[in-house]
Amino acid sequence: MITMLETAKRLKQGLTTPDELIEAALAAARASEHVFISVIDQRAISEAKASTERWRQGATLSPFDGIPYAAKDLLDVAGSRTTAGSITRIDAPIVLEDAVVIGALASLGMIPIGKTNLTEFAYSGLGLNPHFGTPTADIQVDDARVPGGSSSGSAIAVQRGIVTSAIGTDTAGSIRIPAAFNGLVGYRASTGRYSMAGVHPLAITLDSLGPFAHTVADCVAFDAAMRGLKEAAIQSANLTGLRFVVDDGVMSDPALQPAVRQNLQSMMSLLRVIGAHVERRPVAAVTRTRELIARTGWLGAIEAWRLLGEVVEGPLGSRMDRRVRARLRSAKLIDTEAEARIRSLRLELMSAMEHELEGAILVMPTVKHVAPPMAPLENDDELFAAVNLETLSLTMIGSLLDMPGVAIPSGKDSVGLATSTLFSTTRGRDDKLLSACLAIEAALSGSERQPTA
């Protein structure tokens, strides 16, 4: 699968043009069912024409001038509606201004081709959407699998090769989970790394953005572009100087599928052989955070109810996805005292994590399982609720503690479904994490062995 950086090289070498890239991307987008809620044809074609002319004149805005990408339909893109994947917003007004990150990409000549599908209001880790359909990966399995959510369409747009990169949002795992299920790299940034202006919120304390791509290198380049930078200043770390802590509590969880565990262990064994320092031990802050979420509730649910409660209980509420509506209603029962405890303990746990890791990178499975079959989850709401919670259970840790995280494919299971490893650091250390992940990618690509359990 061609990458964004490879596409940039092809443009520089004159092997393709923005006109050709956009024409192919738009055709693929139209042919891929349920991936996009809207395709932005006229803007994309017009901007491609201008970009092609810039390349001819040697006046490009950046090395990525004319490269198409996709944006989750939570981000404002001028000339389109922002539906948030909800039937209640199907008649939302046409947006007149780009979100800040869309504007930053436009300043480099990158072109949005459409708004991708998602779980309604971004409130699920599985990616089902009864209003706009559910996008699925083009993998050879006996039964359709969930794409992961909530950024389902953005992940599938990259997995299917419609675009080389796409923007997602992540409040509880909505980038990292779809990346894991679809064999992609997904980066959830610390909150504050990007402007959230023009992004439909879900839980303002936890909402973040980030890219999907086929490689860490593409994610690093796209991360810079989302901040309006022509070049990424982040360079690969020296692997021999890196320390990794694999959380023993998570690895000992009986719910962890064998392929997920084995592929992570193989990945870390390889890094150790190459020179990285890898230790496996319990991380108390991880255990305490999991206990806090299970016992007291989810801060994101509290904030989501505060934002969406009027929609849920209003005249359009009955039209919502029943599963999303039920989850939001359950958050209504979490009292203000519980919220205060969560916020207080959150700060304490963020400090505890900093102390325990001492600059090391935390390693866990991104998700305990591979992508589950879709049909049973569509037909059984209790099963959906249970699987959704299990799917989100590990990524919620980093979200609550505002830990940047990169999901990297670790291999496949016996039927060819992707497994994934999540690398995380403490808040604000995004550059260090991305630098380390560049080194991890280089080490893994230099190995001929692809783990398959």
- Distance, CA of 165 to CA of 170 (rounded, Å): 16
Whether pLDDT at 449 is above 60: no
Contacts of 211 (CB under 8 A, 6+ apart): 165, 166, 167, 168, 175, 186, 187, 218, 219, 222, 223, 226
Please check whether residue 405 is in contact with residue 436, taking contact to mean a CB–CB distance below 8 angstroms.
no
**Residue 333 pLDDT grade (very low, low, confident, very high; cuts 50, 70, 90):** confident
Run of H or E including 130:
none
Question: pLDDT tens, 247-266?
Answer: 999 999 999 999 999 999 99
What kind of architecture, by CATH, is found in domain 4-226?
Alpha-Beta Complex (3.90)
58-77 burial: b if 16+ Cβ within 10 Å, else e: eebbbbbbbbbbbbbbbbbb
Whether pLDDT at 440 is above 80: yes
Question: pLDDT tens, 207-243?
Answer: 999 999 999 999 999 999 999 999 999 999 999 999 9
The beta strands (E) that lie in 193-276 are given as: 208-213, 243-247
Question: pLDDT tens, 55-113?
Answer: 999 999 999 999 999 999 999 999 999 999 999 999 999 999 999 999 999 999 999 99
At residue 448, the pLDDT reads 46
Question: pLDDT tens, 35-49?
Answer: 999 999 999 999 999
**Residue 1 pLDDT grade (very low, low, confident, very high; cuts 50, 70, 90):** confident
Name the 3-class secondary structure at 33.
coil
Query: In the structure encoding, which two tokens stand for residue 16, read together?
Result: 């393709």
At residue 451, the pLDDT reads 47
Average pLDDT of the residues in 350-359: 98
At residue 447, the pLDDT reads 64
CATH topology of domain 239-445: Amidase signature (AS) enzymes (3.90.1300)
Query: In the structure encoding, which two tokens stand for residue 216, read together?
Result: 């860490």
pTM of the model: 0.97
At residue 450, the pLDDT reads 45
Nearest Cα residue to 6 out of 156, 161, 139: 161
At residue 255, the pLDDT reads 97
Long-range contacts of 285-288 (CB under 8 A, 24+ apart): 285/349, 285/352, 285/353, 285/356, 285/401, 286/247, 286/249, 286/250, 286/353, 286/362, 286/364, 286/397, 287/249, 288/345, 288/349, 288/352
Which residues are tagged catalytic? 72, 150, 174
Whether pLDDT at 446 is above 90: no
Nearest Cα residue to 285 out of 334, 322, 249: 249
Burial class (CB in 10 A: 0-12, 13-18, 19+), 406: buried
Cite the residue boundaries of each domain of the chain with CATH code 3.90.1300.10.
4-226, 239-445
